[in-house]
Amino acid sequence: MTTLNRDEYTLATAEWSSCVSDFTAIEKLIPTNYIFEMPKEQLDWIRENNQYKDFCTEVGIYNDKLILIFCPLDEKGQRKAMPAYAFSTLCPLDGTLTLQEKQEYTIVKNSVLSSDLRRVDNDESMILPVTDRPIMSQDKAVAAIELWRTEGMDWFYLECTEFEGVRVFKRFYVPATDLCPDKPGLLQIKCSFGLKYNDIYQRMLVTLIFISFYQVLENNGSAQTISNTYDWSQPCPPICRI
């Protein structure tokens, strides 16, 4: 697992902060078809060290490459001072990326017989899939990733030239329990930037889309949706609640 010491962490985040208004530098740093990879070792490290419902991913620059630095939070939601911080480097996608969504439907049939055993009613209905946690549908995830690939640099150009980079993300907050689920068989998570419109802020925001990979992706319940694609991140700025 790749890590940064405290000094390297501080320098990496400071370098990104000084870069957010420089479109030319950003264009070289961030190919919009690159992703981050999070092996199980990193996910286990987050689970072991994070004490809050969310954890923080800081954006930094290390060895002239963009990185995500994983920063555990304490029980009050404050960043913990760690002797070392795990990180992931933006890199080309090795092979293809599979986003999977599985839906199961339940068909309910009712036949009603009268007291003299004559059929008086007959109906059939379908229970549509429901989900017990927020997931991002496959189509929306693909659309957000494709929009990032085609218009991500346009987004940066606007932010750099019109707003001097002050609205460019410096970190993301992600619910820890959902990024590190208890479901067995998790091998790794691949993470892509995405672009989607936010109704509250009335503008396009960058998000992180997490695609988890299991040995077996299945669901034995009925009338549920299971997906390996999660859109949990909150970019800061503008969403800086912690």
| pLDDT attached to residue 189 | 86
Which residue stretches of the chain have pLDDT < 70?
A: 96-137, 177-184, 215-232, 241-242
- Per-residue pLDDT, 167: 97
- Roughly how many angstroms between the first and final C-alpha of the chain, as a whole number? 27
Separation of alpha carbons 149 and 209, rounded Å: 13
CA 58 to chain centre: 14
Instruction: Please answer whether residues 27 and 160 qualify as being in contact, where contact means their C-beta atoms are separated by less than 8 angstroms.
Output: no
CA distance 89 to 227: 25
| C-alpha to C-alpha distances, 142 to 100, 131, 146, 193, 196, nearest whole angstrom | 11, 19, 6, 11, 11
Is 232 exposed, middle or buried (CB count within 10 Å of its CB: 0-12, 13-18, 19+)?
A: buried
Please give the pLDDT value at position 181.
Answer: 60
Residue 165: predicted pLDDT: 96
Q: Sign of the CA dihedral 234, 1, 17, 72?
A: positive
pTM, 2 dp: 0.79
Three-state SS string over 111-165 comes to EEECCCCCEEEEEEEEECCECCCCCCCHHHHHHHHHHHHHHHHHHHHHHHHHHCC
Hey, CA dihedral for 155, 156, 158, 164, is it positive or negative? positive
Neighbours of 34 (CB within 10 A): 17
User: Nearest-5° angle of CA 137, CA 142, CA 143?
Assistant: 100
